[in-house]
C-alpha cells in the first residue's frame, strides 16, 4: 500500500554512525522526529541536535522549511543551531590562533543559513566579529574569514547597514588604504564598503571622505581581477551617491588621472575575459559620465545670454567669415542684421533668429555644444558641409543646424542620456572608453554620415524625417556591433550605406513576411498546431538544461548565482546556489526541489512580489521586464520562488516553459517569432515544387458533373 501523502522516505546520516532509512511523517513535530533519530543512535538530550540538508549549504531544517524535504532526500544529524552558535562564538574568543581560525572557517560555511545567522545575531555575534575586524591583530586569513562571515550575516538583512559604527567603518577603510595587505582581505573590505555606501547615505559620505580616489585607482591598476572588480564597484557606488556637482568633479579628476585609458587598455582589452560584474560597473560608469550631459540637454538657449549669443555668432563666422567680411564691410546696422539673418538661414536654422530653434528641450544647449565642437575640431569638414549645401538647389540642401539638433536628440535616445542606471545591464560601449569627448566625437562622425546619406537618398526638405529614420537605423545597427574604437565605428557606419540599409530591410521583411494568398494562409493555419507542439517541446528541453540566475538584492549586488532546471520527467523543478564562475551543476546535486504539481500560478513583471518591494517603476523598468515568480503551495500557505532572468530571451523561454507545464498558452514575443520562422520555413519547403508558379487568390471553380456516368466500371459484375 502506498504511504500517506504526508510521509516521505528519507535517509539520515551522522559521522561515524550507520545511516538510518526512515519514513518521516510531516505532520509530526520536528522535535519528536529528532528525538526518534537520536533514540535510534542511543543519543541523549535530543534538544541539542538538529537536522540539516546533507547537500548544498547544509541548511538547518525548521518547521518553516520542512516541506522542502522530498522522497529520497538525505539529511544529517548535527549540533543544534543555538549550541553551534554558542560554541563558535566561544571559539572566536579562544586564545589559540589556530582555534580562532578553525571557528571562523566553520562560521563562514554556516553563515549563509538564515536559522544559524539569527542565532548568531541574537547572541551579539556581529559585535564579536566586529571586534576581531577592528582589532586587526591578524591581517591575514583570520581577518579575511571574519570579513567574509560578517558580510554573509549582513546579507540576510536582519541588521541594517546604517547601524554600523563610525570607528568600525574607519577601520575597514584603513584596510583598503593600507599597503602590502593580504590579497584576500582588500576585495572583502571593498565589498563591505560598497554595501555601506549603497545602503547608508551618512556612512557613504564617511567612506567618500576617507577613501581617496587615488587609492581606488591603485587597486584598479593591480593585475588582480577580483580586486579590480571590487574597486570598480566601490568607485561606481561613490559616484552614484554623490551630488551632480560632486560627481562631475570626481569624474573630471578620474579622467585627468588617465582612468579611461587604463580601463580601455588593461581591463577591456585584458587577456582575461571580462566578468559580468565588471561589465555592469563599466556600464554604470559610462551611464554616469554621459549623465553629465543631461543639464545641458535640459537647458534651453537663453536669448538674453551674451555668452550664448557670441557662441551663435562664432558658429556663423566659422562658416561665412570671409564672405561676411567682404559683403558686410561698410554696411549699416540694418543691412548687417539682414545679412546675418540670411547666413543663419543658410546655416540651416529654421528661423532667422536661431534662438527659437534651440528653445526646445531636449536637446537644448547640448545641440549648440555639438555644433561648436564640430566647427572647432573639424573646421574643414564643417565648412565643406555648410558651403556645399548652401550652393545646392533649395530643394536638395541638407540643413546643418536642423540636422544637428535632431541628431543630438537621436544620439541622446540611443545612448540613454539622462536615464537612470539599470541594476543589471552590462551594455557598455568599448568605444566610449577609447576616446576623450566621446559623445561630441560621435556627433562629428554622425553628422558627416547624415550628409552622406542625404546625398545617397537624393533627399529634399520633405524627406528630412525619412533621412533621420535611415540614420537612426545606421547608428543603431553599428552601435549594436560594439566597435572597439571610434575609427572602427566610422568605418563600419560608413560601409552601411543607404542601399545596404534597404537590402537589410528587404531581407528582414522576406524572413518575417509570407505571401498573403488564402491557400497559403490556410496551409499555415493547418501547420500551426504541429509547430506549436514542437516549440513546447523545445521550451521544456530548455528548462531541463537549466539556467544560471543572479540574485539581485536591495543594494544592487549581483555577485551570487543560483541554478534551476526541470527534471527529465517534467515533474520537479530542482534548484540551488552555486559558486561564481562555476559550471552549471548536475541536477542530482541540487539541494532544493519544487514539485510541478504544487505550482499555483506564474507571475510576471510588476505582479512579482520581489519587484513590488523594489521602489519606483521608472528606476526598475529593466528589472521588472526580466522578473517572474512561481507561486506554489508551501504547506497551508502560499510561497514564492522568485527569478530575475539574465536576458529577455531567457525570460521568454522560461515563462513559456512554465506556462506549458501549467497547461497555459505561450504568449511571449519569442514564441511568436519562433512560430513565424518555423511557419515560413515549413511553408517554403511545402511549396518548393511550386516555385515560379503563380498561386491564384481563389481556388479554381469545380467543373459541373458529366451528363452521364457510363464510363464508370461496375466491379460487382464477375468476368466470364
Q: Tens digits of per-residue pLDDT, 516-541?
A: 567 777 888 999 999 999 999 999 99
Give 374's pLDDT tier (boundaries 50, 70, 90).
very high
pLDDT at 1: 44
pLDDT at 222: 86
- What average pLDDT does range 364-379 have in this prediction? 94
Does residue 363 have a cis peptide bond before it, meaning omega lies within 30 degrees of 0? yes
Most confident of 149-158, 173-182, 349-358: 149-158
Q: Are 642 and 627 in contact (CB under 8 A)?
A: yes
Q: Among 329-333, 488-492, 505-509, where is mean pLDDT lowest?
A: 329-333
C-alpha cell at 416: 540613454
Q: Are 299 and 355 in contact (CB under 8 A)?
A: no
Give 499's pLDDT tier (boundaries 50, 70, 90).
very high
- What average pLDDT does range 430-458 have in this prediction? 93
Give 171's pLDDT tier (boundaries 50, 70, 90).
very high
pLDDT at 550: 83
Q: Where are the alpha helices (DSSP H) in 136-243?
A: 141-155, 166-177, 185-199, 201-210, 213-220, 225-241
- pLDDT value at 196 more than 60: yes
Closest Cα partner for 672 from 644, 652, 648? 652
Percent of all residues in the chain with a pLDDT value above 70, rounded to a whole number? 91
Give 620's pLDDT tier (boundaries 50, 70, 90).
low
Give 271's pLDDT tier (boundaries 50, 70, 90).
confident
- Report the alpha-carbon distance of residue 571 to residue 294 in Å, rounded: 52
pLDDT at 6: 79
pLDDT at 684: 81
Give 339's pLDDT tier (boundaries 50, 70, 90).
confident
pLDDT tens per residue across span 391-421: 766 677 899 999 999 999 999 999 999 899 8
pTM for the predicted model, two decimal places: 0.71
Give 617's pLDDT tier (boundaries 50, 70, 90).
very low
pLDDT tens per residue across span 416-426: 998 998 888 88
DSSP annotation of 564 reads: E
pLDDT at 449: 96
pLDDT tens per residue across span 425-439: 888 999 999 888 999
What DSSP letter does each residue of 388-438 carry, written as one string?
HHHSS-GGG---HHHHHHHHHHHHHHHHTTTPPPPSS-----GGGGGSTTH
pLDDT at 510: 58
Domains of the chain, first to last: 7-79 (3.10.20.90), 83-284 (1.25.10.10), 298-320+338-509 (no CATH), 535-673 (2.30.29.30)
pLDDT at 323: 47
Give 514's pLDDT tier (boundaries 50, 70, 90).
very low
C-alpha cell at 138: 591578524
Amino acid at each position: 500500500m502506498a504511504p500517506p501523502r504526508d510521509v516521505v522516505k528519507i535517509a539520515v546520516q551522522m559521522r561515524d554512525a550507520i545511516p538510518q532509512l526512515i519514513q518521516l511523517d510531516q505532520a509530526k513535530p520536528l522535535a519528536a522526529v529528532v528525538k526518534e533519530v537520536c533514540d535510534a543512535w542511543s543519543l541523549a538530550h535530543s534538544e541539542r541536535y538538529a537536522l540539516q540538508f546533507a547537500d548544498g549549504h547544509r541548511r538547518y531544517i525548521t518547521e518553516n522549511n520542512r516541506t522542502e524535504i522530498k522522497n529520497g532526500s538525505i539529511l544529517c544529524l548535527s549540533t543544534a543551531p543555538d549550541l553551534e552558535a554558542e560554541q563558535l562564538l566561544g571559539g572566536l574568543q579562544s586564545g589559540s590562533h589556530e582555534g580562532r581560525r578553525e571557528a571562523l572557517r566553520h562560521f563562514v560555511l554556516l553563515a549563509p543559513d538564515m536559522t544559524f545567522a539569527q542565532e548568531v545575531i541574537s547572541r551579539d555575534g556581529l559585535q564579536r566579529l566586529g571586534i576581531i575586524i577592528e582589532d586587526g591583530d591578524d591581517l591575514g586569513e583570520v581577518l579575511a574569514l571574519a570579513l567574509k562571515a560578517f558580510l554573509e550575516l549582513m546579507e540576510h538583512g536582519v541588521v541594517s547597514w546604517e547601524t554600523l559604527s563610525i570607528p568600525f567603518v574607519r577601520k575597514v577603510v584603513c584596510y583598503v588604504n593600507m599597503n602590502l595587505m593580504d590579497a584576500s582581505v582588500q576585495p572583502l573590505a571593498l565589498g563591505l564598503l560598497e554595501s555601506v555606501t549603497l545602503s547608508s547615505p551618512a556612512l557613504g559620505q564617511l567612506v567618500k571622505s576617507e577613501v581617496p580616489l587615488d587609492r581606488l585607482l591603485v587597486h584598479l591598476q593591480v593585475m588582480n581581477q577580483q580586486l579590480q572588480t571590487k574597486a570598480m564597484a566601490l568607485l561606481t557606488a561613490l559616484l552614484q551617491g554623490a551630488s551632480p556637482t560632486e560627481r562631475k568633479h570626481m569624474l573630471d579628476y578620474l579622467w585627468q588621472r588617465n582612468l579611461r585609458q587604463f580601463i580601455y587598455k588593461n581591463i577591456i582589452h585584458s587577456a582575461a575575459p571580462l566578468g559580468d560584474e565588471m561589465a555592469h560597473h563599466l556600464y554604470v560608469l559610462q551611464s554616469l559620465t554621459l549623465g553629465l550631459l543631461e543639464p545641458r540637454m535640459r537647458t534651453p538657449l537663453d536669448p538674453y545670454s551674451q555668452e550664448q549669443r557670441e557662441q551663435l555668432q562664432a558658429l556663423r563666422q566659422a562658416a561665412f567669415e570671409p564672405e561676411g567680411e567682404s559683403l558686410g564691410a561698410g554696411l549699416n546696422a540694418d543691412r548687417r542684421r539682414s545679412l546675418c539673418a540670411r547666413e543663419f538661414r543658410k546655416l540651416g536654422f529654421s528661423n532667422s533668429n536661431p534662438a527659437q530653434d534651440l528653445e526646445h528641450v531636449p536637446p537644448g544647449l547640448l545641440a549648440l555644444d555639438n555644433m561648436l565642437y564640430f566647427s572647432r575640431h573639424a573646421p574643414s569638414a564643417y565648412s565643406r558641409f555648410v558651403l556645399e549645401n548652401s550652393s545646392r538647389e533649395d530643394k536638395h540642401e541638407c540643413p546643418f543646424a536642423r540636422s544637428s539638433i535632431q541628431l543630438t536628440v537621436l544620439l541622446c535616445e540611443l545612448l540613454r542620456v539622462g536615464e537612470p542606471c539599470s541594476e543589471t545591464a552590462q551594455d557598455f560601449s568599448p568605444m566610449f572608453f577609447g576616446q576623450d569627448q566621446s559623445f561630441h566625437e560621435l556627433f562629428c562622425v554622425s553628422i558627416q554620415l547624415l550628409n552622406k546619406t542625404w546625398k545617397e537618398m537624393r533627399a529634399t526638405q520633405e524627406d528630412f524625417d525619412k533621412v533621420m529614420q535611415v540614420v537612426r537605423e545606421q547608428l543603431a545597427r553599428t552601435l549594436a556591433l560594439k566597435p572597439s574604437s571610434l575609427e572602427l565605428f566610422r568605418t563600419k557606419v560608413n560601409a552601411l550605406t543607404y542601399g545596404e540599409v534597404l537590402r537589410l530591410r528587404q531581407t528582414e521583411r522576406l524572413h518575417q513576411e509570407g505571401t498573403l494568398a488564402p491557400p497559403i494562409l490556410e496551409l499555415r493555419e493547418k501547420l500551426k498546431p504541429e509547430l506549436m507542439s514542437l516549440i513546447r517541446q523545445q521550451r521544456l528541453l530548455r528548462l531541463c538544461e537549466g539556467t544560471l540566475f543572479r540574485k539581485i538584492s536591495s543594494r544592487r549586488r549581483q555577485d551570487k548565482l543560483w541554478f534551476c532546471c526541470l527534471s527529465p520527467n517534467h515533474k520537479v523543478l530542482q534548484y540551488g546556489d552555486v559558486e561564481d564562475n562555476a559550471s552549471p551543476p548536475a541536477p542530482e546535486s541540487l539541494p532544493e526541489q519544487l514539485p510541478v504539481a504544487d505550482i499555483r500560478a506564474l507571475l510576471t513583471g510588476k505582479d512579482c512580489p520581489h519587484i513590488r518591494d523594489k521602489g519606483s517603476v521608472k528606476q526598475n523598468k529593466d528589472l521588472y521586464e526580466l522578473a517572474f515568480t512561481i507561486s506554489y503551495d508551501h504547506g497551508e500557505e502560499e510561497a514564492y520562488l522568485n527569478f530575475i532572468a539574465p536576458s529577455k530571451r531567457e525570460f521568454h523561454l522560461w515563462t513559456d516553459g512554465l506556462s506549458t507545464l501549467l497547461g497555459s498558452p505561450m504568449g511571449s514575443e519569442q514564441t511568436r517569432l519562433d512560430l513565424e520562422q518555423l511557419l515560413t520555413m515549413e511553408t517554403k519547403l511545402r511549396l518548393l515544387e511550386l516555385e515560379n508558379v503563380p498561386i491564384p487568390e481563389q481556388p479554381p471553380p469545380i467543373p459541373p458533373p458529366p451528363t452521364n456516368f457510363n464510363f464508370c466500371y461496375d466491379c460487382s459484375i464477375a468476368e466470364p
